[in-house]
Structures are given as C-alpha cells and as structure tokens.
Amino acid sequence: MTIQWLELTVFIVLFLIVTVLGFVASRWKAGANLDHLDEWGLGGRKFGSWITWFLLGGDLYTAYTFVAVPALVFSAGALGMYALPYTIVVYPIVLLPALRMWSVSRSRGYVTPADFVRGRFGSPTLALLIAITGIVATMPYIALQLVGLEAVLRTMGINGSGIVGHLPLLVAFLILALYTYQSGLRAPALIAFVKDILIYIVIIVAIIYLPSKLGGWSHIFDQAQTQLAKPSKATGKPAGSLLLNANNQLQYATLALGSALALFLYPHSLTSVLASRGRNVIKRNMVALPAYSFVLGLLALLGYVAISAGVKPLTNNATGKPDGNTIVPLLFDSQFAHWFAGIAFAAIGIGALVPAAIMSIAAANLWTRNIYKEYIRKDATPKQEAKQAKLASLVVKLGAVLVIILIDPQFSIDLQLIGGVLILQTLPAVAIALYTRWFHKAGLIAGWIVGMGWGLIMLYGIPNPANGKQHFGGSALAMGNLSIFGWHPFAGSTVQIYPGFVALVANIVVAAVVTVIARRLKWQSGTDETEPADYHADEHDKDLRPIGVH
C-alpha cells in the first residue's frame, strides 16, 4: 500500500497544531507553579463547565472507542451496540457518587481514589491494592490508544514491519510525553477542544454523506444482515446479527451495566472529575455528556456502513494478521476525498493523545501518592511529589509503547478486557464507601481478592474459536461453564453473561460475610479521617482547604 501523502500532510499539520497547544497549555489558567499535584495533576482544581465537558468527553470517548466499537459492530452486529446503553445509563448512576467524591477530595486534598480509601478506612494495605489495580487497569487502556493511532497510520500507508513500522508512533508519543511532562492536565484539557470539534465535524459529514452515497440506510441494513448471517469459516456459525438472540441478551445487559459501573472507577475518569471547580460543574456535565453518547451511536452505525461499502481489514505487516481496527479508517479512506480523510484521521489520532495523557497522569498520581509517598518517602514535599509524578507519567507512556512493540497488539485488547474486570472490583472500597463505612477493611480486602481471582479464572477459561485462542478469548461466559468450586449451578445453559459482573457479586458477598465475622470478633476497623460535612462541601464554603496545600 502506497503512502497517501495528502492525507498524511493534513494529519501532520493538525498534529503539529495540537503539539503547540500542548506546550502553550502550561501557561493557560496557571497557578503559582506546577510543582504541586493539585496544579500539575489536577489543573489547579478549577476547570469550569465547558472545559470539564471537553476534558471528560476527550477522556471517556477515546480513539479506541471510535475505532473499536464500529469494528465490533462490523464483525458481530448488534452485540457491538452495548456501548450505547452503557454510556447512557452511566451518568445517572454516577452523578451523586461523583459529587460526594469531589467534595471529600476537595475538603481533604485527595488526588486519587486510593487517597480517599486510605483516609476513609485508615488502611495503607487496602489503599495500595486500589492503587495497584488502578495502575494495572490503566496501562493497557493507554496501549489501546496506540492501537487506534497505529490503525490510522497503517491506513495512510505507514505499515512497515518491525521497529520501522512503529517509528511514527514513537515520535507521536515522545511529543505527548514532553508536553504532558511540562503542562500536566492542562495539556489534554486544551487539546480536547480541537479533538472534539474535529470528531463532531467528521461524524456529522459521515452520517449524512455516506448513506446517501451507498443507497440509504435501508439498503445498508439489508446488506449488513445478509453478510452477518453468512457462516464464519472458523466456526461454521453466523458471525452476528442485527438483533440480539436468546443467548446473548443477558451478556449484553450485564456487559453494559458492568461497564457503566466500572467507568468512573478508572483513575483517569476520576481525575477529570476532581479537576472540576465545583459540584455545579459536575451536575451540568452529567446532564450534557450524553451528547457524546449520541455521537458514539452514530459512529457505531459506521460498522454497518463499512459492511455495505465492502471494506476488508488491512493486514498488519508487523503481525501478518488482518487488523480489524482499520475498518473505520479504511471506510473514510475509500469514501472521502483525501483531504477530508486526513482531517478524519487527525481527529482519531488526536483522540488518542487526549485520553492517553490523562490516563498517564492519573496512573502517575497513584504511584506518587499511594506507593512512593506511602512506602518509599513519607516526608516527600509537594515539589518532590510533582517531580515524581512527572517522571512516572513518562515511564507509564513508555510502558504502553513497549506493550505495542513487543507483543501482539491484539493482546493489549485482551488486557483491556481484563482491566475492566479488575477495576470493577474496586467498587465496594471506592463507590460504596462514599455512602457507608459498614464494610470492614478486612472484608473489603477479602472481597477484592475473591473478585480478582475468580474474575481472572473465568476470563482465562473463555475460548475464541474465530481466532483459535483457547484462553482470554472474550467477555462472554456461557452460564453452563460457571463453576463454584466444581459445582455448576447452570449446567448445560448456553446463555452468556459478563464475568466482571459475576466477580463483583462474589466480591460484595464475601466482603459482607467477612465484615460480619470481623465485627463479631471485634477486629480493629481503622480510623476514618473524613467528616460527614466533607461529603457536601462546595467551592464557595468559607472553611474550604486552599488549593495547593497539604
């Protein structure tokens, strides 16, 4: 495949513009200095409604979302639409917990969810488990942004094998690393404006222009149904359908709900919330953010459009396998003028940088506050903390690049699937603890261990006949394979369910049982440093802790 120079030129020009913005951001809404996690890691905790809306949108709706959701619809049909109910129900679910988390974090100076857990339960061990879970779950998520960016680069003709094929990716992430190091959270906040404007332009044009070119939506859906109904060579069964069937409806519902419960447990999601100026900003955003879900729904439909357009995945020269993530870029490349395809690719590419920057900052904050300061240097000054976080953010990004270069990119997708199941297991210690301290810290630790262990065991046992994988083959567990110490309560059932949801239920049950035992045995429960009033604090309260002070 030859290099598409016009597309590449447009892509590079827009990429350079956001690079300049990334470096300029260090002086945008700047505090006294960036040598404090409040300033570097949370943008001074003073982002208003519009900035927060773009930041959260850029953070939650990633390049991989824009590439992978349509690719899943392209290959499986209706099941890929789970992302739509998931991103609709998440905001009503999260609204009240997010307000309480913002208030208690603002009152007590918490920067990470593990900070809150440390203060709420007085347990460094539980906080460490939450921090490690957050870092481990975030790393493959950053790697997936690279998968989206590489899919775009391949489509433009940069599809070499070995290290040469990854060179443009290394350059892009070197630039990202430098301006994130300098500007902190302000860089992705400013760049998110450009990214989201480009995404909205591209999707509005795509959803109007492409159906008119390909014979209308009725024709597109008919062709998609015909193609999805054809038996797969690997399995001999239909690849998918426009409608859910009796076996995958429960999987669809539990995957959507489980993903919704997990989304704001991710450190990067909470980082964007904590950077807000006040509770009213969060309320407005929870009302306005579904606008992105509408766009996501339109993007998902591009999977059916790609079937109608006859798109076939590009072969990844690094692995020799077809790359399903190139579906949307190839659709744009084949149907749009080259200059507009370049704009679309820039939107996806920049859409990789914004969440990758926020994720690396969130992971760096966890390392600095809950591992470095807790276990390595207890007397670290705010300046030393900020320095440590900046260095950690570089290491995290380098780790994500190495994941892509050293292993099959498909494996990073599997890792992200595992990450979703893992982060869901922090719900009792983080989200439920915002409302009640009934759970004992020993119960929460025991629940975490059981949820993690059983979740990984279930995922390990899921095969994928389509690509020949025996383990970690997806997120659909047949109920008949659900085993509780060898007992199969649903033996023979082919109905599928999301293992993360099952693991969470087990987590909560074990946490409750151990809590009851701990209270009967009068085990020490740790000291809660938070006050009831902390959970209702707002930006104009007269006794509120000053920003940038421990």
* pLDDT of 285 higher than 90: yes
Length of the chain measured in residues: 550
3-class SS of residue 28? coil
* pLDDT of 72 higher than 90: no
257, part of any domain: yes
Predicted confidence at residue 93, as pLDDT, reads 93
* pLDDT of 466 higher than 70: no
Please count the structural domains in the chain: 1
536, part of any domain: no
The C-alpha atoms of residue 104 and residue 511 are separated, in whole angstroms, by 24
263, part of any domain: yes
Angle at 510 between CA 437 and CA 470, to 5 degrees: 130
Could you report the per-residue pLDDT of 92-113, keeping only the tens digit for each?
A: 999 999 999 999 999 998 999 9
Of all helices (H) and strands (E), which one includes residue 441?
A: helix 441-460
89, part of any domain: yes
376, part of any domain: yes
Could you report the per-residue pLDDT of 200-209, keeping only the tens digit for each?
A: 899 899 999 9
Average pLDDT, the chain: 87
CB 243 within 8 A of CB 504: no
Residue 381's alpha-carbon distances to 35, 37, 123, 388, 481, in angstroms, are 10, 11, 22, 11, 52
Predicted confidence at residue 428, as pLDDT, reads 96
Predicted confidence at residue 540, as pLDDT, reads 83
- Reading the block at residue 405, the tokens are 């270069």
* pLDDT of 175 higher than 90: no
The C-alpha atoms of residue 111 and residue 32 are separated, in whole angstroms, by 18
The C-alpha atoms of residue 250 and residue 502 are separated, in whole angstroms, by 12
Give the confidence band of 407 by pLDDT, cuts at 50, 70, 90.
low
* pLDDT of 224 higher than 70: yes
Angle at 332 between CA 327 and CA 333, to 5 degrees: 95
* pLDDT of 514 higher than 90: yes
168, part of any domain: yes
Task: Determine the structural domain holding residue 253 and report its residue range.
Answer: 5-525
| Weakest mean pLDDT among 32-46, 221-235, 379-393, 449-463 | 32-46
Cα radius of gyration (the chain):
23
The C-alpha atoms of residue 458 and residue 476 are separated, in whole angstroms, by 10
* pLDDT of 412 higher than 80: no
Q: Which residue has the higher pLDDT, 248 or 120?
A: 120
* pLDDT of 550 higher than 60: no
> For position 357, which CATH number holds?
1.20.1730.10
Predicted confidence at residue 115, as pLDDT, reads 95
Cα diameter, the chain: 71
The C-alpha atoms of residue 262 and residue 431 are separated, in whole angstroms, by 10
106, part of any domain: yes
DSSP H helical ranges for 61-123: 63-76, 83-108, 113-121
Could you report the per-residue pLDDT of 312-363, keeping only the tens digit for each?
A: 988 877 677 777 888 999 999 999 999 999 999 999 888 888 888 899 999 9
